[in-house]
Structure 1
Amino acid sequence: MASSVPGKISLPESKFDLSTYWGRIRHCAEISDPTMLLTTNADLVKAREIVKSYRDGKMKTATPEFWRAKKQLDSTVHPDTGNTIFLPFRMSCCVLSNLVVTAGMLTPGLGTAGTLFWQWANQSLNVAVNSANANKSHQMTTSQLVTNYSAAVAASCGVALGLNSIVPKLKRLSPNSRLLLTRLIPFAAVVTAGVVNVFLMRGNEIRKGITVYDKKGDEVGTSKKAAFLAVGETALSRIINATPIMVIPPLLLVKLQKTALKGKSRGLQNLVNVGLIGVTSFAVLPFALAAFPQRQSIKVNKLEPELHNKKDRKGKHIDTVYFNRGI
């Protein structure tokens, strides 16, 4: 993010009002804009120069050029490290990265092997995205990464296989009801494993705390309570994002297979399925990301006692601190 560029003048958080949900939606739509994937290293160098000029006071007002540079950095660079996030794991690539995996999980008639493969693929992608976009106050060891990854995959596969074995035994349900439940099994597996995944992959933050800052960007200390809030909100945003994507397309597909797609080839049905998933994914992502501010604030009296009497560089009592929630 642009906040990783040093300077004496604070950056405006956004050209939109982030205190409102609609403002955050518009801001997140920019961060997740797929056209940002075309940003080159040369573009990032120029963007950093423009933002640096603003932070040093050389640029007096936020020009369209400044907002373009900030958008490029916000969508491409990690706010804690200043490093460029690997392209497939950026929020601007989120829909495209997930499209194939989601389409695979929602493919009708998957057997045990297919279910296991796509749940494994989904959790592998989730691990990579969660790790790449997490708060970087503490780095995770390779051992922790492998352990948490294994637990997340086991959770998703266990839920999917368990539900797959239960639904056919529900004889009292009509065939249509059993069909709908079967199509919704991936949703249950994804939501369960998604929450487990976030808490496991970012467990270090909860155990050790994350860095909190004053409004000038100066470090105040570390907080486990702020970390729990950050991780919990991120897990909830994953559920908000997954729900419409995993529910709406399969239900629409069931309806279409009985009407417009009745008797059509499997290839056409799969193409329509991918289209439904893609449209839904692009539509809901900004709403899910905007559910909670990425740069979160919290009153210090809600945090650990050792943070209650901190003062800023001017000697004024700090009553509110800020932290990177992660995405």
Structure 2
Amino acid sequence: MASSVPGPIELPVSKYDQSSYWGRVRHCAGISDPTMLFTTENHLVNARKIISDYRNGILKQPTPEFWKAKKQLDSTVHPDTGETVFLPFRMSCNVISNVVVTAGMLTPGLGTMGTLFWQWANQSLNVAVNAANANKSDPMSTKQLLTNYTIAVSASCGVAVGLNKLVPRLKNITPSTRLVLTRLVPFAAVVSAGIVNVFLMRGNEIRNGISVYDQDGEEVGKSKKAAFLAVGETALSRIINATPVMVLPPLALIKLQSGFLKGKSMKIQNLTNLGLISATLFAVLPFALAVFPQRQSIHVSKLESELQGKTTKSGQKIEYVNFNRGI
């Protein structure tokens, strides 16, 4: 990210207003823009110079070139190390990488081995992306990473295989309802594993609390209540993010298979399925990602008693603090 470039002047968070939902949608669409995959090392060298000029006061105001440079760095470079993230795990490759595993998971008629393989592939991709983009100032140990990976894979595979065996045994439901439930099994598996993974990966935050800051950016203290809110919203965001991609394409495919695709070859049906998934990822994902703001404000009355009644350096009573929700 652009924040990896040193300098005394703070960078603007985004070109768009992050307090508004539409502003967050436009920001999320920018950092996940697949065209940023064409960014070369020469582009990054030039982008770092532009950002450095701003952070050191040479460039007085953000320009179109500044915003382009920030977008290139935010979608390609690690925020802590400043190193280029391996291509498949960059934010700019997020949509393309997910098209492959999502298409695999949503392929109709997968057997047990196919279900296990694609759930494993999805969780492996998630762990790789998280590891490649993780906070390097407080790295997770290899043991913790392997433990979380094993539990996430076990959860997704267990839910997927279990539901695939359960749905056919359900009585008093119509064949069409049974078909819909079968197609939604991958959604249930992905959501279950996603929630488990969030609480595992960020359990220390709930136990120890996260930093909350006053309006001047000064740390007020650590709050476990703010941490639980941050982790809870992140877990909920996993459901929201997965819903359009894992629900809309399979339901649309069922409708098409009873009409336009009826009698068509499996090749045409699979290509249609891939097209539906790709279109949904590109069009809907930024709207899902933008539901919760990255930085949030909360009244101190909702936090621990020791964080209440404090004042800023200028002596002003602190009523609201803000914190970074994380992703």
TM over 0.5: yes
Q: Given the superposition, is the C-alpha separation of residues 242 and 78 from structure 1 closer, same or farther in structure 2, using an over 3 Å criterion?
A: same
Distance, in Å, in 2 between the alignment partners of 1:270 and 1:203 is 40
Q: Given the superposition, is the C-alpha separation of residues 278 and 214 from structure 1 closer, same or farther in structure 2, using an over 3 Å criterion?
A: same
Within a 5 Å distance, the mapping from 1:166-185 to structure 2 comes to 166-185=166-185
The aligned residue for residue 275 of structure 1 is 275
> Does the alignment pair 1:160 with 2:194?
no
Is the 1:32–1:94 Cα contact (8 Å) retained in structure 2? yes
Cα shift at 1:6? 3.0
Distance, in Å, in 1 between the alignment partners of 2:69 and 2:320 is 29
Q: Given the superposition, is the C-alpha separation of residues 226 and 53 from structure 1 closer, same or farther in structure 2, using an over 3 Å criterion?
A: farther
More displaced, 268-277 or 312-321?
A: 312-321
Cα shift at 1:322? 4.7
Cα shift at 1:80? 4.6
- Write the deviation string for residues 213-233 of structure 1: whole angstroms up to 9, x where unpaired: 566666665544443333322
Is the 2:209–2:225 Cα contact (8 Å) retained in structure 1? yes
Is the 1:4–1:80 Cα contact (8 Å) retained in structure 2? yes
Distance, in Å, in 2 between the alignment partners of 1:246 and 1:16 is 28
Q: Given the superposition, is the C-alpha separation of residues 317 and 171 from structure 1 closer, same or farther in structure 2, using an over 3 Å criterion?
A: closer
The aligned residue for residue 255 of structure 2 is 255
Q: Given the superposition, is the C-alpha separation of residues 183 and 263 from structure 1 closer, same or farther in structure 2, using an over 3 Å criterion?
A: same
Letter in 2 for 1:142: T
Letter in 2 for 1:247: V
Distance, in Å, in 2 between the alignment partners of 1:133 and 1:239 is 21
The aligned residue for residue 63 of structure 2 is 63
Distance, in Å, in 2 between the alignment partners of 1:306 and 1:81 is 35
Letter in 2 for 1:266: M
Q: Please, what TM-score do these two structures have when normalized by structure 2? A: 0.89
- Write the deviation string for residues 145-175 of structure 1: whole angstroms up to 9, x where unpaired: 1111111111111111111111111232222
Q: Which runs of 5+ in 2 are unaligned?
A: none
Equivalenced residue count is: 327
Within a 5 Å distance, the mapping from 1:47-196 to structure 2 comes to 47-135=47-135, 138-196=138-196
Distance, in Å, in 1 between the alignment partners of 2:216 and 2:41 is 29
SS of match in other structure, 2:278? helix
Q: Given the superposition, is the C-alpha separation of residues 202 and 78 from structure 1 closer, same or farther in structure 2, using an over 3 Å criterion?
A: farther
Q: What percentage of residue pairs aligned between the two structures are identical?
A: 73
More displaced, 130-139 or 106-115?
A: 130-139
Aligned alpha-carbon RMSD (Å): 2.6
Is the 2:244–2:285 Cα contact (8 Å) retained in structure 1? no
Distance, in Å, in 1 between the alignment partners of 2:40 and 2:220 is 35
Q: Given the superposition, is the C-alpha separation of residues 228 and 44 from structure 1 closer, same or farther in structure 2, using an over 3 Å criterion?
A: farther
Q: Given the superposition, is the C-alpha separation of residues 128 and 141 from structure 1 closer, same or farther in structure 2, using an over 3 Å criterion?
A: same
